[in-house]
Structures are given as C-alpha cells and as structure tokens.
Amino acid sequence: MKGLRLLVLFSASCFCMAELEAALTSAASGDPTKGKVLYANNCLICHGEHGKGDGLIGESLHPPPTNLTGSQARAKSDKDLLTVIREGRATMPAWKNRLNDQDIQNLLAYIRSLSE
C-alpha cells in the first residue's frame, strides 16, 4: 500500500511539474503590451520596428538579426524562442541576467504578435 501511495504522489508531482513547465514556456502567459515596451528598449535597434531584422545596427551584425516575423522564427516553439532570449545566440546577447522571467514571457508574447 505504501508503494502505491508513493507511486500516486510521484505521478501527481510529475504532472504538476509538466503543467508548470508548460506555463513557463508559452507566449500565452505573457502580456504583449508590456512586451512591446521591452522590445522597444532592448530589441528594436537590431530587429527593427516590425521585427524584420532591419534595425539601425542590424545590417552591421554578422550574422544578421533574425526576422522575427519570418517562417523560420514562427516555426520555432515558444520554448525554443525563450531559450534564445534567455541564453542569447551569435551576436544576440543573453537577457537572462537583465530581464526577469515574466519580462521574458512578455517579450515573447509581443514577438509572437508581430506576425499576426
């Protein structure tokens, strides 16, 4: 009986962790209005006003900034985009030490709204 209780408890905790991870890796948990302000302050200079990768310094970067409205960026999962925002990539800096998790969620929600 004790083994059964442990199995049920373990299963329930795995389910809760999966739900928590899903909530933390989804654009749906962000506020695009707040994300727009973060984008203007941190991303616009490279990715451009409409996320096309054509910001003021974007042309001078190698590789150039990603077109956030393009098919490749849209095909990426929210989890993959959150990883790029947090950890950075190539010429893009990591934002995990500058933005908190909720800010990053808000930023993702705004980025997703660019291609709607």
Q: What is the CATH number of the domain that holds 69?
A: 1.10.760.10
Per the structure, the complete domain to which residue 90 belongs is given by 2-114
105 Cβ neighbours under 8 A, 6+ residues apart: 24, 26, 27, 29, 30, 31, 35, 82
Give the separation between CA 98 and CA 23, rounded to whole angstroms: 21
The count of domains in the chain is 1
Position 83 scores a pLDDT of 97
Total Cβ atoms within 10 A of residue 86: 14
Ranges of residues in the chain whose predicted pLDDT is under 50? 15-16, 18, 20, 22-23
